[in-house]
Amino acid sequence: MKQLASAFLALCLITTGVSAWAGRAATPVGEIAAAALPAEARAVLASIKAGGPFAYAKDGSVFGNREKLLPPRRRGYYREYTVKTPGARDRGARRIVAGEGASGDVRSSGEYYYSDDHYNSFRRIRE
């Protein structure tokens, strides 16, 4: 009986953990002030608002939000931009993701998220 109770408890914990992970809240982890961003990120944010230029061909491409960390929106709502990582030989792990917002335009939406760990976490940029 004791083994059965232990097995049931373990199953409940596993199920709860899986459910919590699968249904995790679709919100950014926190916020970051624009002034607190690395200089490279501030430059990319300025380029987004100006409509370019951008350093990488993939900048401005659709961000699918597969990680489901950002608020759920239709496909194409979010765009991603590379933030240069000093010393990186490739695009690195830093990105800004811009949402279209109410304006429908990432240049003026005010909806910007920063990730310094390749989409494992996000912080909303507070301007």
Say which CATH number the domain at 61 has. Answer: 3.10.450.30
How large a percentage of the chain has pLDDT more than 90? 75
CA 41 – CA 115 distance, rounded (Å): 10
Q: Which two tokens stand for residue 51?
A: 């409509």
Q: Which of the residues are catalytic?
A: 80, 118
CA 37 – CA 43 distance, rounded (Å): 10
Classify residue 62: in a domain, yes or no: yes
Give the E-state strand segments of the chain in sequence order: 30-33, 61-62, 78-82, 95-99, 112-115, 123-126
CA angle, corner 72, sides to 97 and 26, nearest 5? Answer: 85
- Pick the residue with more confidence: 17 or 87? 87
pLDDT(78) > 90: yes
Classify residue 4: in a domain, yes or no: no
CA 114 – CA 126 distance, rounded (Å): 10
pLDDT band at 104; cut points 50, 70, 90: very high
Classify residue 14: in a domain, yes or no: no
Query: Which value, in Å, is the radius of gyration of the alpha carbons in the chain?
Result: 19
Structural domain total, the chain: 1
Check: CB of residue 46 under 8 Å from CB of residue 127: no
Classify residue 85: in a domain, yes or no: yes
pLDDT band at 75; cut points 50, 70, 90: very high
Domain span at residue 76 reads 26-126
Read off the pLDDT of residues 16-26 as tens digits, 9 standing for 90 and up.
Answer: 343 334 444 45
Read off the pLDDT of residues 21-52 as tens digits, 9 standing for 90 and up.
Answer: 444 445 556 999 999 999 999 999 999 999 99
Task: List residues bridging with 96 in a β-sheet.
Answer: 81, 114
How large a percentage of the chain has pLDDT more than 70? 77
Classify residue 96: in a domain, yes or no: yes
Classify residue 12: in a domain, yes or no: no
Check: CB of residue 122 under 8 Å from CB of residue 28: yes
Classify residue 59: in a domain, yes or no: yes
pLDDT(115) > 60: yes
